[in-house]
Amino acid sequence: MAPSSAYTSRITGIASGLDTESIVESLMKVSRLKVDKVAQQKTLLEWKREMYQNITSKLYEFQQKYFNTASSWANEISRLSASYNSSLISVTASANAAAGSIFIQDIVSVATAAKLESSAPVSADPQILVNTENLGDLAGKTLVVNLNGIEKTITFSDIEYATASDVADEIQSQLNTVFGSGKIAVNLNGDTITLSASNSTIMIKTSTDGSDPGDALTFASYSSNRIDLNVSLASASLRNSALSGEDKIEFTINGKPFSFDATVTLSDIMRIVNASDAGVKMSYSTLTDKFTLVSTETGATSDITIADVTGNLMGALFGTGVKTAGTDAIVRLSVDGSTDPESIITVTRSTNTIDVNGIIITIKGKEAGAAEENITINLSYDTEAILNKIKDFITDYNALLSEITTKLSEEYDRDYLPLTQDQKDAMTEKEIELWEKKAKTGLLRNDIYLKSIAEELKKCFYMPVMELSDNSLPLGILSEIGIATTIYADKGKLTVDENKLRNALNANPEKVIALFAQQSDKSFSVYATNEWLTERFNEEGIFHRLSDVLNTNLNKTGTKKGALINLVGSPTDSYKGETEYSKRIKELKEKIDYLEQKLAKEEDNYWRKFTAMEKALAKLNQQNSWLMGLYNNKQ
């Protein structure tokens, strides 16, 4: 936008009768052309920058899809498929595994972790204190009992209760009626009744309708044979006290010390133990009412030791403890698939994962007793899967190359320049769209940067891959396996002869894979010598050649940045920062601002002259009118 004129008062052709606006506008047209020309140059640069950025983004997206992770496409097509008919194992082939067979004759044992379990239930059973002096009012009173989530209300019969034994017998009879015989055991010790249930959760509470036993029976308003993990340790109803008169507890697990005060909950203790480096996982079963410590490591050497330092928490939770020793995984197998007894070896591991020459076997179980498993694992290449992966890769490569070659071959029409604002004002939106589409076409025709990238990409495919052991001997070339260019008009686009590729994969999958995934021992660096990079290129499979091309052209650090990165920036930086194009566009913008200021001054100068002329004419007209007036008066 042109800066506003310094002159706010402009006199149009009132005195002269001239169309001053049109005259000034016509006089300014030649000067305006200079600004329009620079603005068009700026727009062309902005369009080219956008095109370069689009190509750079396409290169980056291709790089991210195929080369960004350790589990790259090259590893995927190199990976073997394992076939076996057993649920007792799972098998994964790593990238360096070789085709063949493995025979597992016998899984002698599975690796297990050491375990320590409570020697007895840890929770105190619900207790009811019988007040024998107040039994006269017990008839008709109720007691709410919950067994494993099923809640029943028992009502004391209208009989005379003389002793605590009478009450215990009545409770037992009522419980047998509502839950079934043998579900809950009622025991009497003096005047105290205890309710117990093996591997079941029981709970007793008072009724809310006012029919509670009152002074005849005394018990907590909520009492259960399962501890509440979320109450303070001081309030937890453990069978044996954990505090032993102390206001804190201290203990060790595998030598790791722990210290808590009486306000801590068992849930917090378990969480802290499990997050520690004591090497165990602590859990509680409401079914068995027992705690368990399991070693995080498997194998015969895994162990668990506990000791109380202050208080008695470990004793309260585990008692004397029932320890189960960890075991090693012991497997008898042959690495070549042979069932010959002389080929069978015994493999012992502390875990259930066994690496057999890059084949990762995970033991999940074993046959009962001494029965042998006799599992055969076959490792082979899934040729159809590899073929489809190669086809998809070539399709994506062709799309990437086409993005570049299309720009290189577009015809450029110099008659279609960026529109000026006046030209846009005279056109419809659709006309503007069509014009700009034509104006953008061919801007990168024969572009030296894109041409270089396209040639580098195509070179990766048509140059032979050499043997690693002797890089003077060719390993092969892609056309031998059915991947080649067809006609010149395709501009380097590759076609895949599926039958030829399938036959090559079936005949020699290792060679096909090497043509794509073979890796040189010479490391890549944009600063390496040309001789080094040439040797690396010759020894590399197609995949790693392409990776080097992309790494070179997308490099954004050091003194050897990629050509497009220098021009327009990096997609990983959202194309921000100073680049060659941003500097050139900035310079043109500053030039436009300067020319606009000159235009404003030039326009003001024209208006100043026309305004002066109008004023002079107006004064002359006034004088003429005065003289005419004098003349007429004399007549």
Pair type for strands 345-349 and 150-155: unpaired
pLDDT beyond 90 at 78: no
Three-state DSSP string of 92-144: EECCCCCCEEEEEEEEEECCEEEEEECCCCCECCCEEEECHHHHHHCCCCEEE
For residue 283, list its beta bridge partners. Answer: 292
- When pLDDT is cut at 50, 70 and 90, the band that residue 14 belongs to is low
Q: Which residue has the higher pLDDT, 618 or 68?
A: 68
* DSSP structural state of residue 10: -
Whether the per-residue pLDDT at 310 is higher than 70: the answer is: yes
- Which tens digit of pLDDT belongs to each residue from 456-509? 999 999 999 999 888 788 899 999 999 998 777 778 899 999 999 999 999 999
pLDDT of 345 over the 70 cut:
yes
Q: What's the pLDDT score for residue 8?
A: 45
Q: What's the pLDDT score for residue 12?
A: 64
* Continuous segment of H or E residues that includes residue 374: none
Model confidence at 6: pLDDT above 50: no
Q: Lowest-pLDDT range, 20-29, 73-82, 185-194, 334-343?
A: 20-29
The mean pLDDT value for 344-363 works out to 94
**CA 570/CA 577 separation, integer angstroms:** 9
Q: Is the predicted pLDDT of residue 624 greater than 90, yes or no? A: no
Percent pLDDT > 90 in the chain is 63
pTM over 0.85: no
Residues 32-52 pLDDT 10s:
778 888 889 999 999 999 999
Quote the CA–CA distance of 123 and 170 in Å, as a whole number.
Answer: 25
List 298's β-bridge partners, or say none.
113
pLDDT digits (tens, 9 = 90+) for 426-438: 999 999 999 999 9
CB 465 within 8 A of CB 476: yes
SS3 (DSSP) at 285: strand
Domain annotation for the chain: domains and CATH numbers:
38-65+385-581 (no CATH), 100-111+328-379 (no CATH), 127-224 (2.60.40), 232-324 (no CATH)
Contacts of 614 (CB under 8 A, 6+ apart): 11, 12, 13, 14, 15, 16, 20
Token look-up 């902005």 returns: 46
Burial letters for 82-116: b for 16+ Cβ neighbours within 10 Å, e otherwise?
bebebebbebebebebeebbbbbbbbbebbbbbbb
- Region 604-614 average pLDDT: 73
State the SS3 of 481-494.
HCEEECCHHHCCCE
Sign, CA torsion 552/556/559/562 = positive
Asked whether the predicted pLDDT for residue 7 surpasses 50, the reply is no
pLDDT given for residue 17 in this prediction: 61
Per-residue pLDDT at 68 exceeds 60: yes
State yes or no: pLDDT of 563 exceeds 70: yes
Q: Which residues is 359 bridged to in the sheet? A: 93, 356
Distance from C-alpha of 315 to C-alpha of 307, rounded to nearest angstrom: 8
What's the whole-number average pLDDT of the chain? 89
- 451-466 pLDDT, tens digit per residue, is 999 999 999 999 999 9
Rounded to an integer, what distance in angstroms lies between the CA atom of residue 362 and that of residue 88? 9
Work out the number of other CB atoms within 10 angstroms of the CB of residue 15: 17
Residue 206 has pLDDT above 90, yes or no: no
CB atoms within 10 A of CB 224: 20
How far CA 490 is from CA of 242, 456, 482, in Å, comes to 82, 17, 17
CA atoms within 13 A on the CB side of 70: 2
Per-residue confidence band for 29, with pLDDT thresholds at 50, 70 and 90 = confident
Structure tokens at 125: 């059973």
Over residues 415-426, mean pLDDT: 90
Least confident of 67-76, 513-522, 546-555: 67-76
Query: Would you say 356 and 102 are in contact if contact means Cβ atoms under 8 Å apart?
Result: yes
For the beta carbon of residue 135, count every other beta carbon within 10 angstroms.
Answer: 21
Start-to-end C-alpha separation, the chain: 59
Rounded to an integer, the average pLDDT of 556-568 is 91
Residue 290 near residue 122, CB atoms below 8 Å:
yes
Least confidently predicted of 202-211, 233-242, 473-482? 202-211
Whether the pLDDT of residue 81 is over 70: the answer is yes
